[in-house]
Structure 1
Amino acid sequence: MVKLLNNPYGQCFFPEIRQYGSAYVDKTIFIEKLERYGGKYPFIVRPRRFGKSLFTQTLAAYYDASCVKDFDKNFKGTYIYDHRTTAAGSFFVLFLDFSGMILGDPVTQFVERLRAAVRIFLGKYPVKKAEFVLTKAYDAPAVLFSDFISAVYTELGKKLYVIIDEYDQLINGFFSCDQARFKGSVRAVGFIKDFYSSLKEATKTAVSRVFITGVASISMDSMTSGFNIAKNLSFEPEFASMFGFTEDELANLIPQLVDLNEYGHSLSEVMSRMNELYSGYRFWNESGDTVFNSSMCLYYLDKISLCGQEPANVMGPALFSDLPKIDGIFSHGQKELVLQIVNDAVMGRSIAFGEISEAINLNSFNKFNRKDLLSTLMYMGFLTYAEDGRSLKVPNQFVSRLFFEYNLKYLC
């Protein structure tokens, strides 16, 4: 019997994946590329389920001084192990995870997420004079963050690396269903804009590096000067395959997770089927290669390994969570434009497109124009560059089914 590795579907804690027998697709070359091309404050967005959280955890394990002792365990056999940079293990990492936030009292949630991150940080790096932020009452995240930065700067100096995962989780919820709350959060006096302004200010003192991921740039763009020092790498060629699986990566991964002889299908057959379902994404308009939705690939392979057959529901749980998101995007577009895009998507037609909107500031208007609506659908992974690099298309059957279901549920 073939000895298989554990399937890391649903896991994003890098040290656990590396140290406990799970398969791992090595993306550590992008640590080196970020240092070379990304500047001090890189920002990159990708659709959900493309491995962003795992990569942020990888960065934390690589740069955090508290992880130096585990470097071999975490990175042996990876690209970066043999190309270690001088910055490895040289920062005090503050990891801010905003995934899973729900609509409710947004300020309280934000404050408590920030406080939880500070608690973990002080557990690694005790700074007595900063402990008061763990118990002091705050009604503004920016004030808590500024207090923390002031307290740690005198002891730790300019050595903080702030890593932010899913920066737009909460405000994208507002964007989808409550435009007034969205604008209130990111406008000139909004609490989220204030937080990112305080982060920008902290780069003058304790914060040396920042890395931010999310799903779309709309929230960041709408904050304008909140954190306008970020370098958006989302559609730069060097980072086109940073998230998701390339064809070669998936071909190497499948035999680690599935006994193909027992399954009764060849590698090329499995690859061909997964290509129809989950590939087709281009994040650079001149790219000849596409990437796969990594989480959906792991879901599919997990079902094959467990059940010996393709899952009956190849969409997984994504259908029910993605339909409201498409509706939220289309609610910001003119009805005639929405109908045209949905009809083209359902029929599999290419959609004429120019350059992507690199700045979509919803504080300056109430409805998307055509370019901004298509750009947002592309950021969210519902459309992608076609082969000609000048038009857009639905990337695969997975997304095609989403448009079909959206048409049935919301438009018919």
Structure 2
Amino acid sequence: MDTSRRLPYGISNFARLIEDNYYYVDKTSYIESLEREANPYQFFIRPRKFGKSLFLSMLSWYYDINSANRFEELFGRFYIGSHPTPERNSYLVMAFNFSGVDTHDEETFRKSFANVVQQSAIGFLSKYRIIFANADELIRNINETQPGIAVLRIAYDAANDVGRKIFVIIDEYDHFANDLIAMGVDAIYKKQVRANGIVRDFYETLKIGTSDAVGRIFITGISPVMIDDLTSGFNIASNLTVEERYNEMLGFTQAEVEGIIKETGLNRKLAKVDIQNYYDGYKFHKDAPRRVYNPTMLLYYFNQLRMTGKEPENIIDDNLKTDYGRLQRLTMNRENRETLLQIIRDDGIYSEIKTKFSIDNLADTGHFVSLLFYMGLLTIDKADRGLLWLKIPNYSIRTIYWEYLMQMIADTNREVQLNLSEWQLGVRDLAYDGNGVPLLDYVSKNIFSKLSNRDLMRFDEKYIKVMLLSVLFQSKIYLPFSEREVEGGYIDIFLERSSHLPDIPYEWIIELKYVKESDTDRLPEIRKASAAQLERYAASPQLAGKPGLRKAVWLFIGKTKYEIIE
């Protein structure tokens, strides 16, 4: 009989996860840690799809007074089951989720935000009908009068009347702010968040509630973009986001991943890709001892293996791709575009991490880089002489940069022509015929030769490489790797056949070189040195004897000429 547990991909309700025999990576010890914090009003952010909603659901079931009779069923086998805290099942939980706020225009936004708050308050009163004797009367009054943010005071009074404290949980606190930023409607944001608008009113009323009814608050989102703008209206929460002790509160460590594989009965032999390379790598404090996987990225992959018995055709979950519109908005100014290009070229950047900033700061390089960190597009690699080196976390995120780079080049340079079917044919010829000429002809004529003078100022091997990686990745024929480490050095581009195309006869070691047209006298020595590099890479223990392995130097001369040396 199969005793393995189900993979919890897409499950954000903690009780359902337990009831339906899904495997839960035990994060309940953090309940104890959070409850021991001096400040009961807490703020914690992580990138998209990092397990925030499930964590909030777990908090809700743990603290909800209505769930007291289910404590053993839900938590008995986890850490907190044998280490219960003093406040377990002692609160009335009032939850808000702002992901559904309509940002179409200012009036629609205001009404939609007010409706989310009112419906949450109605749900709160309805949930505790057994405690609030006049719950139906209060709900009827709310529906008739539409009090807006004042509905919070109604909920506070109800809780105070029965001598109970409220635990306020807010998910997606910044979702509408991110939408407004992406759409470029700063005016609505500034009027409703920074000025005396409805968002500010909500948080001021929430703060007022801490004087009597509100005992705990826990807020999550993906960025700190509203923190400064709410400071005077809501300056009571501790930001735990980059505290070392909470580095692993969300996300999976390597040991936890091993537990998932074991407890769900996953067949390791089905997994062909290096999951650490694809989904791991996040660190939120420079001294944190371990890195963590993005849970949704990893569970998507594992779920595909379980359902189909083979790797998914797309090893990267399309649902995780960052909204290109948001990046386009953030890179409307030249400084941010240049910074993004630097990150793509160098695979990271030196920067400090800002903990608070408002919409006015997004054009500043330090704040822009920090926002990329909070969005999960950068993570901490190491501290170096007082500075942090922030790197691209993993292969999955790297491909987002590659795709965005090509779109950005096309958007900012109308001369660049991108035709996916044409470059796919070029990559196909490279894969099946060992012929790289059609591909390099395409990128030389349609991309490189069309670059602007500003683009040409940074035209070098790194710039060429990331553009080629983007083309190669989007073809879906190869899995391209940058700087693959082998004995003897780092391969500029290694092209690994996709597991879905096992009939591809050729994999490639590519060494890239670039020479300005004014430096062509250096070509003989470059050709010789490059050939020696290729031989050394191919002879490495990691690649020696690999079937169908070919090697070539792609030597670019200026922006219109190239050579292929095999």
Same fold (TM > 0.5)? yes
Does structure 2 conserve the Cα–Cα contact (< 8 Å) formed by 1:300 and 1:311?
yes
TM-score, normalised relative to structure 1: 0.91
Report the CA distance between 1:124 and its aligned residue.
Answer: 2.7
* Residue number in structure 1 paired with 2:403: 405
Matched, 1:116 2:119: yes
1:145 CA drift (Å): 1.8
Contact 2:23 2:260 survives alignment (8 Å): yes
> What is the letter of the counterpart of residue 192 of structure 2?
S
Is 2:165 the counterpart of 1:159?
yes
Partner of 1:40: 40
Residue in 2 that maps onto 1:73: 73
1:12 offset after TM fit, Å?
Answer: 0.5
> 2:373 aligned with 1:378, yes or no?
yes
Give yes or no for the alignment of 1:136 onto 2:144. yes
Alignment partners' CA distance in 1, 2:173 and 2:144? 24
Going from structure 1 to structure 2, the CA distance change for 1:65 and 1:11 (only over 3 Å counts) comes to same
Kept in 2: contact 1:345–1:400 (CA 8 A): no
1:170 equivalent in structure 2: 176
Deviation at 1:57, TM superposition (A): 0.6
Alignment-derived partner of residue 277 in structure 2: 276
Query: What residue identity is the alignment partner of 2:219?
Result: I
Matched, 1:180 2:187: yes
Post-superposition shift, 1:11?
Answer: 1.2
Question: What is the deviation of 1:180?
Answer: 1.8
Q: Deviations over 1:325-366 (max 9, x none)?
A: 3223334xx313422x32233234331113x2122022xx36
Aligned 8 A contact 2:98 2:173 in 1: yes
Q: Which residue does 2:347 correspond to in 1?
A: 349
Count of aligned residue pairs for this structure pair: 398
SS in 1 for 2:233: helix
Asked if structure 2 preserves the Cα contact closer than 8 Å seen for 1:350 and 1:393, the reply is yes
1:205 maps to which of 212, 215, 228: 212
Aligned partner of 2:389 in structure 1 is 391
Could you report, residue by residue, the CA deviation over 1:240-284 in whole angstroms, capped at 9, with x for unpaired residues?
Answer: 111111111111102333531xx635xxx66x7111111111111
Which deviates more from structure 2 when the two are superposed, residues 371-380 or residues 156-165? 156-165
Give, in whole Å, the separation in 2 of the partners of 1:88 and 1:125.
Answer: 17
Partners in 2 of 1:242 and 1:66 — Cα distance? 25
Q: Partners in 1 of 2:391 and 2:160 — Cα distance?
A: 52
Q: 1:292 to 1:133 in 2, by over 3 A?
A: farther
Q: Which residue of 2 aligns with 1:311?
A: 312
**Is the Cα contact below 8 Å between 1:44 and 1:232 reproduced in 2?**
yes
Tell me the SS of whatever aligns to 2:49. coil
The equivalent residue for 2:233 is 226
Bigger Rg, which one: 2
Q: 1:125 aligned to 118, 125, 128, which one?
A: 128
Deviation at 1:39, TM superposition (A): 1.7
Q: Residues 14-63 of structure 1, C-alpha deviation per residue, up to 9 Å, x if partnerless?
A: 00101111111110011001011262101001011000000111111011
Gaps of 5+ in 1: none
The amino acid of 1:308's aligned partner reads G
Q: Bigger relative contact order, structure 1 or 2, given CA contacts below 8 A and separation 6+?
A: 1
The verdict on how the C-alpha distance between 1:39 and 1:372 changes in structure 2, with shifts beyond 3 A counting, is same
- Report 1:243-282 matches (<5 A): 243-260=250-267, 264-265=269-270, 273-282=274-283
Alpha-carbon distance in structure 1 between the residues aligned to 2:320 and 2:221: 20
Structure 2: runs of 5+ lacking an equivalent? 411-566
| Residue 359 in structure 1 maps to residue 366 in structure 2 | no
**Maintained 8 Å contact 2:114/2:198:** no
Q: CA deviation at 1:89?
A: 0.6
Q: Which amino acid aligns with 2:313?
A: A
Q: 1:234: how far off?
A: 0.2
Aligned identity (percent) is 31
CA distance in 2, matches of 1:96, 1:41: 15
Cα distance change on mapping 1:64 and 1:397 into 2, 3 Å: same
Q: Which amino acid aligns with 1:402?
A: I
Equivalent pair of 1:278/1:296 in contact (CA under 8 Å): yes
Is 1:293 matched with 2:294? yes
CA contact (8 A) 2:181 2:326 kept: no
**Pairwise CA distance, 1:167:** 1.0
Task: Please identify which structure carries the higher strand content.
Answer: 2
- CA displacement, residues 352-407 of structure 1 (integer Å, 9 cap, x when unaligned): 113x2122022xx3652111111111111111111336111100111111111111
CA distance in 1, matches of 2:193, 2:162: 31
SS of aligned partner of 1:291 = coil
Q: Which residue of 1 aligns with 2:82?
A: 82
> Secondary structure of 1:39's match?
coil
What's 2:51 paired with? 51
Which residue identity is paired with 1:125? Y
